Amino acid sequence: MSALGAQVRTITRQRDKTHPRRIHFGKWGTISLFVLPGMLLFALFVLVPIAKAAQYSLYDWDGFGPLTEYVKDGNYQRLYDHKPFRSAINHSFFIMFLSLTVQLPLAMMLALLVGRGKLRGRKIFRMILFVPFVFSEIITAIIWMYVYHPGEGLANVAFGTLIPGFEGQTWLGDRDLVMYSLFGVLTWKFFGFHMILYMAGLQGVSKELEEAARVDGANELQVLRYVTLPLLGSTIRLTIYLSVLGSFQQFAIAWILTRGGSPANSSHLISTYLYKFGIKTFRLGYGSSVAVVLFTISLLFSLGYQRIVLRRDYAD
């Protein structure tokens, strides 16, 4: 067929030459018309800005006028010495760690429950569980601001009813608690996303293989451990990747719930730190150095992960 296809293509090409009336862009015309606008936009807003940030990070720059005050690694030095920045890095890694160890297993468990099988009402459960995904982060943050209200918020009332003698918490004002509270909101908003990915993966898991394991005497946990989860390997690896990158780019929910890193800049994530100390104060050179650190973390992770982990998913 491909030989025939080539023949057909020559015929059409010849025909086009003999009919110049028709509007015809030709191969390169089509390519440039179709690819250039998108690639230009991509270069203009993705590639160029990222490259420029690396340059800005070497200067003291308020965003106005030319770059004159070259400070070499001065911005990076200051970052390294700034306590809130170090804690912001720690917090981002903390959120990442909890996402991988709590949020993903929870999503997996729910996907196994509602992703397949004959459980009655599973479609309704699935719909409910996935709803928060469509809400904006602002709506999410404001709803949870109330849930975490230190006096009569839903969280205090609910725990107070369920656990006798429960003392009301300041969920967002307590240094030791605030990151867990934030993580709770992020889980509420995003576990459905991972659940949907796992459910898609489950469609590819062969029922026969699981059945065969059962016939051979494996119990349900063993089937899960030795058959289902390994077969979901590529999906799991993908969700780990998305979850890590996602943890490092969280901004809106954290910014609103922690009111800009309070108490006393003790609850920043990298992105809220960047916004507060780089953009709001117009120390754009300094902010650029935060951006470069953020890129470097995600780039190293992405490349490393793709090389080492995702590689086998594309191997054959």
Partner 1 sequence: MRSSTYIPSPTTLKIRRGLSLALKYTILIIVCMIVVSPILTAILGGLRTTGEFLARPFGLPTRGIQWENFTSILEDSIFWRSVRNSLYITLASTAFTVILSSTMAFVFSRIQFKGREVLFNILSLGLLFPLGIAILPIFLQIRALNLTDSYWGVVMPLVAFSLPGSTIILRTFFRAIPSELEDASYIDGCTRIGFFVYILLPLARPAITAIATLQVIAGWNEYFLSLLVFTDSKKWPLTLGLMQFQGQYGTDWARIMAYVTILIIPAVIFYLFAEKYIVTGLTGGELKG
The three-state secondary structure class of 70 is strand
CA 185, CA 144: separation in Å to the nearest integer? 7
Residues 80-109 that bind partner 1 (CB under 8 A): 109
CB of residue 108 vs partner 1: minimum separation in angstroms? 13
Q: How far is the CB of 158 from partner 1 (least distance, A)?
A: 8
In the complex with partner 1, which residue's Cβ is closer, 178 or 197? 197
Q: Binding residue for partner 1 (CB under 8 A) from 69, 73, 158, 206?
A: 158
Applying CB under 8 A, among 14, 34, 97, 304 the residue interacting with partner 1 is 34
Q: Which of 125, 169, 224, 260 binds partner 1 (CB under 8 A)?
A: 125
Pick from 69, 73, 200, 211 the residue near partner 1 by CB under 8 A. Answer: 200
Site for partner 1 in 8-27 (CB under 8 A): 8-9, 11-12, 15-16, 22-25, 27
Q: What is the DSSP string of 148-177?
A: T-TTT-HHHHHHHHHSTTPPP--TTT-TTT
The residues near 224 (Cβ < 8 Å, ≥ 6 apart) are 112
Q: Does 154 bind partner 1 (CB under 8 A)?
A: yes
The residue type at 187? T
> What is the distance between the alpha carbons of residues 255 and 138, in angstroms, rounded to a whole number?
10
Residues 218-257 that bind partner 1 (CB under 8 A): 245-246, 248-252, 256
The minimum distance between CB 312 and partner 1, in angstroms, equals: 18
Asked if residue 311 binds partner 1 (CB under 8 A), the reply is: no
Q: Contact 242/309 with Cβ under 8 angstroms? A: no
3 state SS of 31 = helix
The interface region with partner 1, picked from 83-91, 221-229, 289-297, 307-315 by CB under 8 A, is 289-297
Contact residue for partner 1 among 58, 79, 110, 213 (CB under 8 A):
110
By CB under 8 A, what part of segment 264-283 binds partner 1? Answer: 271, 274-275, 278-279
Q: Which one of residues 89, 104, 108, 147 is an interface residue with partner 1 (CB under 8 A)?
A: 147
Q: Prior bond to 150 cis, omega within 30?
A: no
- Let me know: does 232 contact 195? Beta carbons within 8 Å: no
Query: What is the rounded distance in angstroms from the CA atom of residue 84 to the CA atom of residue 264?
Result: 9
Q: What are phi and psi of 251, to 5 degrees?
A: -135, -65
